[in-house]
């Protein structure tokens, strides 16, 4: 496995271009399983491990995939399957997105249950509730979800999909895909409002499905008999954009984050401004100036349009620089705090009380060996490394490569000193 070696203390200057959205691409790649013809996607972050794993999974269940630059074409192959094995699914939780489309297309599906991961238990009960509302009989047996449409075709239904931690992005996505080939109308209430859900709705509409209400808690979908294919431009990655905004804020200097959609980053912009970070928001870009006198704040992650949980760890690194006590309450994944111990190895003073992190900012950070535990935790360690005195080695950056395209190159182009090397110890 590779590691990143960061020599901290350099300010960042210049422009960084945002890649296509990982979490926006994934549902659309899986939705191609619904189609009888080719699907062409532009702006896909093809150099991410999660995207490559998804393309491999699609191939193994009978699709043909072609990649050229950031364009991906997916076509149905000759023998399409309705099963995804543990070996395919265990590498990536989002593989459970194949459940809805496989069931809708074949009338039955057998998909391995995904496991938990470093950010928590991550149940899929709401995904199952969604397809059950469309008339599927569902059983979980021997680690597999076995789903079968009564009468061999799903039929529209009415379902409420929020759970104890709010709406579910993945459950909404799975249900929308299943409903697209069901007979009649499906209404999802308590739906996730995240831009990735709205993106999927636009794509399904492009493929001929009639959908209304995306971006609101009530989505209605009128299923069709056949989906022939379509084209789609994947929107920019709002979490990657947010991560580079925080990088600019933490490291000093002046950074332009280009090719983003500022409207999707409102909560982060508000938080950064409250922390005394200077920002200039353009139409498709945001400029950030590093600020040495940061103000501590009290905030919480929330469903969209609130602060994304996927920016919590990175924001925590920034809070370490604000003199005084900051609080982050994690409302989506109460256990998503693996980065605390590693940030503390760099000299941060953070403690956790239940789902709340209390950050005593102002301590100077000093370089150390740290271990990446999940994707966003890895990004927060890299950001902290940018300002830690001396050398920080972030091990197990496999996680980072799942969700950030060429992060070290992008940071180096801004003037950071970050080197990727093979980790001899293999940790």
Q: Which residues are catalytic?
A: 117
Enumerate the H helices of 275-338 as residue ranges.
312-319
21 binds ligand EPU (CB under 6 A): no
Beta carbons within 10 angstroms of residue 283's beta carbon? 7
Least Å distance, CB 93 to ligand EPU, is: 6
Least Å distance, CB 24 to ligand EPU, is: 8
Nearer CB in complex with ligand EPU: 124/416: 124
Stretch touching ligand EPU by CB under 6 A, among 63-71, 120-128, 267-275, 409-417: 120-128
Only segment of 167-175, 207-215, 337-345, 364-372 that touches ligand EPU (CB under 6 A): 167-175
Q: Which of 76, 107, 156, 171 binds ligand EPU (CB under 6 A)?
A: 171
On the 0-12 / 13-18 / 19+ scale of CB atoms within 10 A, 347 is middle
The residue within the footprint of ligand EPU, chosen from 84, 98, 169, 394 (CB under 6 A), is: 169
Contacts (CB under 6 A) with ligand EPU, residues 76-95: 94
Contact assessment for residue 172 and residue 127, using Cβ atoms and an 8 Å cutoff? no
Instruction: Work out whether 355 is an interface residue with ligand EPU (CB under 6 A).
Output: no
Which residue number, 180 or 373, has a Cβ lying nearer to ligand EPU?
373
23 contributes a contact to ligand EPU by CB under 6 A:
yes
Q: Does 19 bind ligand EPU (CB under 6 A)?
A: no
Of 13, 90, 122, 205, the residue at the interface with ligand EPU (CB under 6 A) is 122
Helix (H, G, I), strand (E, B) or coil at 330: strand
Residue nearest to ligand EPU (CB): 170
Stretch of residues binding ligand EPU (CB under 6 A), selected from 230-238, 308-316, 344-352, 406-414: 308-316
DSSP state for residue 234 in the 8-state scheme: P
Q: Does 131 help bind ligand EPU (rule: CB under 6 A)?
A: no
Q: Give residues 249-278 in contact with ligand EPU (rule: CB under 6 A).
A: none
Assess 332 for contact with ligand EPU (CB under 6 A): yes
* Cα gap 183→170, rounded to integer Å: 22
- Please, what sign has the CA dihedral across residues 302, 306, 312, 317? negative
305 near ligand EPU (CB under 6 A): no
Contact indicator for 297, 249 with CB cutoff of 8 Å = no
Q: How many other CB atoms are found less than 10 A from the CB of residue 222?
A: 16
DSSP string, 46-93: TTSHHHHHHHHHHHHTTEEEEEETTEEEEEE-SS--SEE-HHHHTT-G
Give the angle 100-102-106 at the CA atoms, nearest 5°.
125
- Entry field: residues in the chain: 427
Does residue 125 bind ligand EPU (CB under 6 A)? Answer: yes
d(CA 233, CA 210): 19
3-state class of 58 per DSSP?
helix
Cα distance between residue 274 and residue 243, in whole Å: 17
- CA dihedral sign, ordered 164, 165, 166, 167: negative
Considering only the stretches 265-273, 302-310, 358-366, 414-422, report the one whose residues sit in contact with ligand EPU under the rule CB under 6 A: 302-310
What does the CA dihedral 64, 69, 71, 73 come to, rounded to 10 degrees?
-10
CA dist., res. 41 & res. 273, Å (int): 35
Least distance in Å: CB of 102 to ligand EPU?
A: 17
Interaction of residue 403 with ligand EPU, rule CB under 6 A: yes
Q: Is 165 in the site for ligand EPU (CB under 6 A)?
A: yes
For ligand EPU, how many residues bind (rule: CB under 6 A)? 27
Residues near ligand EPU (CB under 6 A) are: 23, 26, 94, 119-120, 122-127, 163, 165, 168-171, 192, 196, 308-310, 332-333, 375-376, 403
């Amino acid at each position: 496995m590779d590691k990143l070696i960061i020599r901290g203390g350099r300010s960042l200057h210049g422009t960084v271009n945002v890649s296509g959205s990982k979490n926006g691409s994934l549902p659309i790649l899986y939705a191609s399983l619904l189609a009888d013809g080719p699907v062409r996607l532009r702006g896909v972050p093809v150099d991410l491990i999660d995207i490559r794993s998804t393309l491999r999974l699609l191939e193994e269940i009978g699709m043909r995939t072609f990649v050229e630059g950031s364009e991906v074409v997916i076509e149905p192959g000759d023998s399409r399957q309705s099963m995804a094995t543990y070996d395919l699914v265990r590498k990536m939780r989002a593989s459970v997105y194949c459940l809805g489309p496989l069931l809708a297309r074949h009338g039955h599906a057998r998909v391995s249950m995904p496991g938990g991961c470093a950010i928590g238990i991550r149940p899929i009960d709401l995904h199952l509730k969604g397809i059950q509302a469309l008339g599927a009989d569902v059983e979980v047996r021997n680690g597999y979800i076995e789903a079968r449409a009564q009468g061999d075709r799903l039929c529209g239904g009415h379902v409420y999909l929020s759970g104890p931690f709010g709406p579910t992005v993945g459950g909404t996505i799975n249900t929308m895909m299943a409903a697209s080939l069901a007979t009649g109308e499906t209404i999802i209430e308590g739906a996730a409002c995240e831009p990735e859900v709205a993106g999927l709705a636009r794509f399904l509409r492009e493929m001929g499905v009639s959908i209304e209400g995306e971006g609101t808690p009530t989505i209605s979908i009128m299923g069709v008999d056949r989906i022939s294919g379509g084209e789609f431009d994947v929107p920019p990655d709002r979490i990657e954009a947010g991560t580079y905004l925080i990088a600019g804020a933490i490291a000093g200097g002046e950074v332009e984050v280009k090719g983003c959609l500022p409207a999707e980053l409102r909560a982060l912009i508000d938080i950064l401004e409250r922390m005394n970070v200077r920002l200039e928001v353009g139409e498709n870009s945001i400029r950030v100036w590093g600020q040495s006198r940061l103000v501590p704040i009290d905030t919480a992650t929330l469903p969209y349009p609130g602060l994304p949980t996927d920016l919590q760890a990175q924001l925590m690194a920034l809070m370490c620089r604000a003199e005084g006590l900051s609080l982050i309450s994690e409302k989506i994944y109460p256990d998503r705090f693996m980065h605390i111990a590693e940030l503390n190895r760099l000299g941060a003073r953070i403690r956790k009380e239940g789902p709340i992190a209390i950050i005593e900012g102002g301590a100077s950070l000093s370089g150390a060996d740290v271990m990446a535990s999940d994707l966003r935790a890895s990004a927060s360690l890299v950001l902290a490394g940018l300002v830690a005195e001396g050398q920080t080695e972030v091990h197990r950056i496999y996680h980072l490569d799942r969700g950030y395209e060429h992060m070290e190159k992008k940071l180096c182009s801004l003037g950071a000193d970050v080197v990727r090397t093979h980790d001899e110890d293999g940790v």
